[in-house]
Chain A
Amino acid sequence: MSMKHSTPPLLDIDALRIDLPVGGAPRTAVHRADVRIAEGEAVALVGESGSGKSLTARAVLRLLPEGARTHGGLRFAGESVPDMSRARLREFRAGDVAMVFQDPRAHINPARGVGDFLIEGLTTARGVAVAEARTKVAGILREVGIGDAERRMRQRPWELSGGLLQRVMIAAALAAEPRLLLADEPTTALDVTTQEEVMAIISEAREARGLAMLFITHDLELAAAVCDRVAVMYAGSTVEDLPAAALHDDAAHPYTRALLASRPSVGDTRGGLRAITGRPLSGFEAPSGCAFAARCPRARELCDDEPPRSRPAGAGSAACHFPHTRAPEEAGSHA
């Protein structure tokens, strides 16, 4: 709905709804996901369990469970993903978009060599000669910080540590020369020092290539550090979308603010964390009004009765009847 669009966004998730079959009947897991990513831009999709963030990411590649149905818009560079033919979908997955998952071991054949896995996409989908593919892939491995590329390519996946294997997965994703990288909690299973290295590698590779990214995570701080914009999901809906730089000062949705406040940090002086009462709801459990109302300190009657629509708030947009907005000059505090 943007005014002047010369080119459509690279990825446009527009009022996406996802129904999953539960006990034979369709139930809505994602009510409304709205995410737009421009060419070369990085957007984080942040949420707790059940928020629908991973389903949304999977919907982009049409990797949803059997029997799932999507409604709403899902376009890549203007082209409708749900309308892609099988042949076009294969091409789309092999070349336009690449995905990196939380658990690399579940997505690599343990019986085959790392090198074979890495060149597979190039030799089968692109018809690149094996020798040429190996040279190219070795170069990418060095780029992601794997110095002894030749030796690593002769190894089996189980011979590599989790951090090393995740770098191999990133190399495989980069080898396809995609325009969009989908990264679904790529560092959640890694140690914190390894996480920093892997995220630095992703950021450098993106910068070198002008590669766009949809980054799925539960960690708001990490999201803000590596992305241009942050979209927050709760109970199957995008509840806020704002520039990463505005997260700490300008978050308008009470959930975003509560999530920030409940995260422990090393710099904190001692004292209790500001926990959010209750538990996160899944999309399946979302009530008819605002799904966060039961846990929200700002909720009033209206919130239970009427679902809030997304509208401009602060530096971005928020689906909230009573968003936080910074008072002019932020004068004093008020209840």
Chain B
Amino acid sequence: MLEVHNLRKVYGDFVAVDDVSLTLPEGGSLAVVGESGSGKTTTARMIAGLEAPSGGHFAVGGEPRRPGRVGGAERRTRARQIQMVFQDPYSSLDRRQRVRDAVAEAVRLHRPGNGAAVDDRVAELLGLVGVDERQARSLPKGLSGGQRQRVAIARALAAEPRVLILDEAVAALDVSIQAQILNLLAQVRESTGTALLFITHDLAAVPHISDEVLVMRTGRVVEQGPVGRVLGAPRDAYTRRLIESIPKPGWKPRRRPRPDAD
């Protein structure tokens, strides 16, 4: 579904992303894990078309993405391929637009039709993400962070994308709400076949959402493979370090020497 080869991004003489290759199969789920400065978000933004790569290339659904500006029709085609949900749903929603209208707008853009068909599709999307009638009539400010993130997911799904990129999409949410959204995403993937590219700093969330994982550090991929193998038997020292620093029963924080210290 998504094939990325040797992607690279350079700002001046700073290399933000260096030689990143990845594959996301049809309906698959790949997690990209890293700390700040790892290049995970820049990688996601290049794939979403929000940032121009300095090198490398990628293909969506077998079709190579050509760099440069594109027209409206091509933009809509691309939107149907890849949609992105961000960490802060508040900033990605129009604060004067009611939730139902925000979703309807996205539906009309991608599936022009009569009023009834649009209404049905909006109801279907809001039902899928668990937003009720009262919430649908609210403005974004009347919703909690978790509800707003549900709306952002519904809007992204309106385009019927083949790939949904989630950039730290649960990072700002309360623990009890994070679990709801992770479960929702797993359910969306199952019922719609949308492939997920899950960008996160939180390794612990990965087994609940992805089959494959890729670990990045300072712009490079240090390890990738099936989630069970990478988390169960990490081969790279940095992956091990990441796993060891997650609090769990019996864990005590320790000062550790950094693997290949920077």
Q: Which residues of A contact B (CB under 8 A)?
A: 48-49, 145, 191-197, 199-201, 203-204, 218-222, 224-226, 248, 258-259, 262-277, 279-280
Contact = CB atoms under 8 A, between A and B. Distances in A.
29 contacts: A191-B35, A192-B203, A192-B242, A193-B258, A194-B35, A195-B253, A197-B255, A197-B256, A200-B254, A201-B255, A218-B174, A221-B247, A221-B248, A225-B251, A226-B253, A259-B175, A262-B178, A265-B246, A266-B206, A266-B231, A268-B208, A275-B183, A276-B179, A279-B144, A279-B146, A279-B174, A279-B177, A280-B174, A280-B177
Contact of B253 (A199, A248, A268, A269): A199
Contacts of A266: 203-204, 206-207, 231, 243, 246, 248
Given A219-B247, A266-B207, A272 B186 contact: yes
For B147, B175, B177, B243, which residue has the most chain A Cβ atoms within 10 angstroms?
B175
B176 A272 contact: no
Contact of A48 (B174, B207, B241): B174
Contact of B176 (A48, A196, A271): A48
B176 A276 contact: yes
Nearest to A49: B174
Contacts of A258: 176
B202 interface: yes
A251 to B, nearest CB: 12
A248 B249 CA distance: 8
Given A200-B255, A201-B255, A192 B201 contact: yes
Contacts of B251: 221, 225
A192 B245 contact: yes
B253 A203 contact: yes
A224 B180 CA distance: 24
Contact of B183 (A193, A197, A201, A273): A273
B252 A225 contact: yes
Contacts of B60: none
B245 A193 contact: yes
Given A191-B201, A270-B208, A222 B247 contact: yes
B139 interface: no
Contacts of B258: 193
A263 B144 contact: no
Interface of B: 35-36, 144-147, 174-180, 182-183, 186, 201-208, 227, 231, 241-249, 251-256, 258
A42 to B, nearest CB: 13
Nearest to A249: B249
A242 B152 CA distance: 39
Nearest to B182: A273
Given A145-B255, A194-B35, A262-B176, 17 more contacts: A48-B175, A191-B35, A192-B35, A192-B201, A192-B203, A193-B35, A195-B245, A196-B256, A197-B253, A221-B248, A225-B251, A226-B252, A264-B202, A265-B248, A272-B208, A273-B208, A280-B174
Nearest to B36: A191
Contacts of A264: 178-179, 182, 202, 204-205, 207-208
Given A219-B247, A276-B179, A200 B208 contact: no
Nearest to A255: B176
A29 B137 CA distance: 28
B242 A193 contact: yes
Contacts of B248: 221, 265-267
Nearest to A271: B208
Nearest to A247: B249
Contacts of B145: 49
B70 to A, nearest CB: 36
Nearest to B203: A266
Contacts of A275: 176, 179-180, 182-183
A267 B251 CA distance: 13
A219 B186 CA distance: 23
A254 to B, nearest CB: 12
A277 B207 CA distance: 21
Contact of A200 (B175, B201, B203, B253): B253
Contacts of A248: 249
A83 B38 CA distance: 50
For A199, A259, A273, which residue has the most chain B Cβ atoms within 10 angstroms?
A273
B253 A225 contact: yes
Given A218-B175, A262-B178, A272 B183 contact: yes
Contacts of B179: 262-264, 273-276
A267 to B, nearest CB: 7
